[in-house]
Structure 1
Amino acid sequence: MSDETDEMRAFLTEAIVTTYVALAEALTKLPVPITLPRGPVFQSKELTSAVSRVVEIIKDQPIDMEIQAHVWGASLYWNAAARLLGVWLHAEEPSKVAAVEIELVLNDAADAILHLTELLDRQE
């Protein structure tokens, strides 16, 4: 594996974890806080299942549609990036294009989390 691929692997892995932590933090600010699994060891299947559950239950939160939409979008974008990253990490020859796609989807998740946090902070 090339140095460039190793660097991209490290970058994407750190980005997925950082984005997950930001999502988990934002969800604790909801009127009825949602707690995602945290800790020193992340199990990807546990995390994607937990984030998928957020998508299913967010409609039951006592929040307006704009906040719901940002939670929904952030969760779906993060899950998509996590699944794409899993495939990319196990590829024989990881594609640069696929790495950029993962990065773009993570950027969308981060953008939704940023807007969600701004909305929630205004409500406090």
Structure 2
Amino acid sequence: MNLGAQDTLAERMGIEYVEASAQRVVATMPVKGNTQPYGLLHGGASCVLAETLGSVGSALHAGRDGIALGIEISATHHRSAKAGLVTGVATAIHLGRSLATYEIVITDEDDKRICTARLSCMIKRG
């Protein structure tokens, strides 16, 4: 997965995949370089991580004959992160023929929840 991320937003954000299946996708992302002016992890960076993980899971669910396109994301930012790595875990909520939905939980290095997101992807099959 990390090799396939070359020249993508995921690469620019420093996202590194740890585990990937249609049921669960795990990756880390550095806080450094992904902050807003106050030095805190940018909420948009959390959304990029969440959408990346849910999209990867959806694409794996769609298989070789399908594509997955994000159609809705929501995110609640619970607390800030100032340094280190955050870890995102996307867990499938629904894996249907034309729709896949994931809950993505992002935590800091102390395992404190930074963000909870939900992503739905439309699946188009060839």
TM-score bracket, shorter-length normalisation = 0.3 to 0.5
Q: TM-score, normalised by structure 1?
A: 0.34
Larger % of strand: which? 2
Larger RCO of the pair (alpha carbons < 8 Å, separation 6+): 1
- Give 1 or 2 for the bigger CA radius of gyration: 1
